[in-house]
């Protein structure tokens, strides 16, 4: 099974900060990775698909990069509505796996 190691597990940041979250796959997954945002009590919402493609309707301050085993989600200028938990999801194998999540909190 492919394991996804996401870091950090949490971070504190201020409005306007640049934020970077990383996911590492236990084996190569090409670009078969998405990034999700989840707010309390709500279903997840995809931000990025195919590692670097922006989901329709998602602000351009979100971006994704990487291929193979190392992937990054970047928020270029954190906004108040971005405080949430973020997950990566690999779909390269028959068994999909989420990262453990990164909670982005207000500093």
Q: For binding to another protein (CB under 8 A), which residues are involved?
A: 1, 34, 36, 38, 43-46, 49, 55-56, 85, 87, 89, 91, 94-101
**Residue 49 Cβ, how far from another protein at the closest point, in Å?**
7
**Residue 79 Cβ, how far from another protein at the closest point, in Å?**
21
Three-state secondary-structure class, residue 1: coil
Length of the chain: 107
DSSP state of 2: -
**Residue 16 Cβ, how far from another protein at the closest point, in Å?**
27
DSSP state of 67: E
Q: How far is CA 37 from CA 26, 27, 68, in A?
A: 22, 24, 22
How far apart, in whole angstroms, are the C-alpha atoms of residue 51 and residue 55? Answer: 11
Cβ-based nearer residue to another protein, 19 or 36:
36
**Residue 94 Cβ, how far from another protein at the closest point, in Å?**
4
Cβ-based nearer residue to another protein, 45 or 61:
45
């Amino acid at each position: 099974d492919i394991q996804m190691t996401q870091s950090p597990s949490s971070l504190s940041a201020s409005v306007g900060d640049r934020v970077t979250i990383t996911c590492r796959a236990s084996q190569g997954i090409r670009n078969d990775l998405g990034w999700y945002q989840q707010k309390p009590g709500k279903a997840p919402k995809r931000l990025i698909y195919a590692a670097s493609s922006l989901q329709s309707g998602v602000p351009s301050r979100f971006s994704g990069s990487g291929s193979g085993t190392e992937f990054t989600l970047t928020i270029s200028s954190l906004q108040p509505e971005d405080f949430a938990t973020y997950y990566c999801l690999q779909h390269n194998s028959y068994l999909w796996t989420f990262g453990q999540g990164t909670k982005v909190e207000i500093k």
